[in-house]
Amino acid sequence: MNDLSEILRAEIAAYGPLSFARFMGLALYHPDFGYYERPRRRVGRKGDFITSVAVGGLFGELLAAQFARWLDELHAANSKRQTPILLESGAHDGRLAADILAAWTAQPTRQPVIRYLLLEPSERRRAGQRETLAAHLDQVEWRESWTGLAGQPVHGVLFANELLDALPVHRLGWSAVESRWFEWRVDCDRERFVWRRGSAPVSPELTNLLPASLQAAGRAGVLPDGYSTEVSPGALDWWRAAASHLSCGWLVTFDYGLRDEEYANPARLKGTLRAYSEHHVAADVLAAPGEHDLTAHVNFTALQRAGEEAGLETVGCWTQEQFLGGIVQRLAPDKLAAWDAVKRRQFQALTHPEQLGRKFRVLAQRRAAAT
């Protein structure tokens, strides 16, 4: 048992079984013992998982090319000539920001000039990002939360890479006998954390977040007993907050995820919740809290709907293979011809269907500049 396990056990003893959202929030973000707060190598071949950023600098270079194209459109339509902003939320160690800024500054004629904001609540991660971004500190600013943007609406591109899948989720299950949803909660059984069916009715705030395909399957009586899935109020709250701070420009996320209609699938009887350690899926997501990365797929349909309700226009929802492939098709032939073997291997890893090309999806929405 580690220190975080003791904290969780004490909370369960005091208040009863916890929602998984509470368990996941502490396991990942506890200021002293959370997975993302501990000084360890989490990303890369020697870490727990591979990300697009860990493949190499090409991911950031391609994003810089796409963002420049979008910002050129804003610049042309912006009579006030505001300095555009790139705002990244959940920047981990700052590597993607460094890659984007390196690609940006490598094009001395690239216009317009940008400001780069990082939205990061963790003081420890902010310190690490400053080290990574030491060569670009004149272009970078930090904000701890959305409130730090009060009176400063974003004119530009607001984006996140592999953030929303790591926000705490509630785990819900279906009772075929009672024809209702229940919440899976986390309890203690001696030294182990175990799943326990919650007895209280699930709040409408949570059941309303279930994919429409699962709600319909439940009403039709075709969901098997114990079918489980996840809902993420935090991901929707983040998307709505981001949309509210975007005055004009693009809102983009890169993440693991599904469309609404993909949830009602026999292959997902236990949902999409996973724990990763050293590139392997852990057998028990409740074991050793703080030691594993915890993740659950994002509902892209729900995000799209939330953005449209906030007045955004959906540009597209693609696989990473489609999105990055589209960027490359628009690159000048001389730039592609200059790619060495390293960049070609990186592009293959980023876009190959059996590597990262179809594991990640990209949702982009926009708010047009006022005329």
pLDDT 10s digits, 120-160: 999 999 999 999 999 999 999 999 999 999 878 999 999 99
- Residue 110 confidence (pLDDT) above 70: no
Q: Residue 371 has what pLDDT?
A: 53
- Residue 228 confidence (pLDDT) above 90: yes
Region of 271 on the Ramachandran plot (φ > 0 left; ψ -120 to 50 alpha; else beta): left
- Residue 39 confidence (pLDDT) above 80: no
- Residue 346 confidence (pLDDT) above 60: yes
Q: Residue 369 has what pLDDT?
A: 78
Distance of CA 197 to the CA centre of its chain: 28
Amino acid letter for position 99: D
pLDDT more than 90, % of the chain: 83
Task: Indicate the pLDDT class of residue 283, thresholds 50, 70 and 90.
Answer: confident
Q: Residue 45 has what pLDDT?
A: 53
* Pairing label, strands 228-231, 170-175: antiparallel
Average pLDDT over residues 59-72: 95
Query: Which of 70, 74, 79, 232 is closest to 159 using CA atoms?
Result: 70
Q: What is the spatial distance between Cα 5 and Cα 185, in angstroms, rounded to a whole number? A: 16
pTM: 0.94
Task: Indicate the pLDDT class of residue 77, thresholds 50, 70 and 90.
Answer: confident
The CATH architecture annotation of domain 52-167+235-256+297-367 reads 3-Layer(aba) Sandwich (3.40)
- Residue 370 confidence (pLDDT) above 80: no
What is the b/e burial string over 158-195, where b = at least 16 CB atoms within 10 angstroms of the residue's CB? bbbbbbbbbbbbbbbbbeeeeeebbbbbbbbeeeebeb
Lowest-confidence pick of 5-14, 112-121, 192-201 = 112-121
Average pLDDT over residues 30-43: 80
Spatial contact of 234 and 160, defined as CB atoms under 8 Å apart = no
* Pairing label, strands 85-89, 115-119: parallel
